Chains A and B, each alone.
Chain A
Amino acid sequence: MWDLTIPGNNDHDFYVLPADSGPSYYLVDKEGVTAILVHNQNPYCDISRLKGFAKQIREAGLSSQARNQRVFAVGQDSMGNLTAASSDGWDVGQRDMLKTLNENLHFGIRRVPSITDYDAEENLMEDNRGSLTPLQRVGTDPQLPCGPDERDCAGQMDRLGIEHE
């Protein structure tokens, strides 16, 4: 089996060149041997893994207010793209953790800016609005998506067919 997946957010293309392709880039060579295009997609992440990312980001907060009073959500769309959002802001520690996840673990998680008064899941949904690659799964930490007595993030995601806990 061949697994040519390169983790990332579909923002770079990679080409596997024939061994004797010399300095050429990804052109078809004289013999008609074509380079193989490899998209960089994140692997499938289940909700538990998405929650894990959200937890890692949240817990990297520098203050207990940032760690304990903010909710983080990480979502994955139909192309494997990953996005992360906060119910409030992101402090330096939380931003650095996102950078660490992206650099050290080779994930491509894109930070979504916060809209004031939106929950973390709502920020993800707003960011994805109108996208050709709909959000498919969202993991939230430290609490589950809220119900109808609050902003009904769970109901909003249900209506969009987004899997969640």
Chain B
Amino acid sequence: MTDSGSGLYFEIKKLATAIDNLSPRSTAAIFGVCAAALAPLLKRVEERSGHRWTVPDLPLAIDLIKEFATGSTEASDHHGVRERLMVTVPDRHPWRTYAQDALICADAGLASASVSDHPDPRLIHSALEPLIVWAEGRDYDVIRTYGDDHWDREIVNDPLIVAALGFLRRMIAQASQRSSVESLEFDRWVTDAAVLRPISL
């Protein structure tokens, strides 16, 4: 992994630095949008399990994050719902990692919406992880032959990664200009965040 001036992980750390300067409501918006964008992937895992494994708290978590991000509610204690999100173990499914990432983004959004808490901004990696894992699978032989550092440098030119990084940069830049976001804007970002999903749904 090269993170000393170029490459994917350098870009992720730049995103994290930008998020670190956002207001709590804007930070909640960023992670809430990412959780909502990845939620359909988690839903597919739920369906595949025959609904033996479900996360009924995820829609609730996204609603709570959106309410805080848009200024409708104040920071409060989300300990209970966060704990439930974090202890659930996604069913065995090829998209299990994607489901984990949706949960991680939701927890980070709830942390932003909590009193006396603040998410590690590097968790923005989880918004990109479904694409990263998918691309690593596609590029498996390249990574085995040329190594992680080579892949890390080259993958930032991949159109899917370019689109995802570009979306996150734009959303963070727009969020940085305000202390909270409009509800319609939140919804529009969720639509645009489809670029974070490696598979069209």
Number of residue pairs spanning A and B whose beta carbons lie under 8 angstroms apart: 82
A43 interfacial contact with B, CB 8 Å: no
B97 within 8 A of A: yes
Among A14-22, A91-99, A153-161, the stretch that binds chain B is A91-99
B95 and A116 form a contact (CB under 8 A): yes
Tell me the interface secondary structure of chain B in the complex: helix
Tell me the count of chain B residues lying within 8 A, CB to CB, of chain A: 38
A63 B108 Cβ-Cβ under 8 A: yes
Distance (whole angstroms) from the CB of A128 to the closest CB of chain B: 10
Q: A91 CA to B133 CA in the complex, in Å?
A: 11
Say whether A69 faces chain B, with CB atoms less than 8 Å apart. yes
Q: Is A114 an interface residue (CB 8 A)?
A: yes
A95 contacts which chain B residues (CB < 8 A)? 1, 9
Per the bound structure, the CA–CA distance linking A104 and B94 in Å amounts to: 35
B118 beta carbon closer than 8 Å to chain A: no
Are A63 and B86 in contact, CB atoms less than 8 angstroms apart? yes
List residues of A whose CB falls within 8 A of some B CB: 62-66, 68-70, 88-89, 91-93, 95, 98-99, 110-111, 113-117, 127
Give me 21 A-to-B residue pairs in the complex whose CB atoms sit less than 8 angstroms apart, sorted by A's number: A63-B86, A64-B86, A65-B107, A66-B126, A68-B86, A69-B90, A69-B100, A70-B100, A91-B123, A92-B12, A92-B13, A95-B1, A95-B9, A99-B1, A113-B136, A113-B139, A114-B136, A115-B140, A116-B97, A116-B133, A127-B144
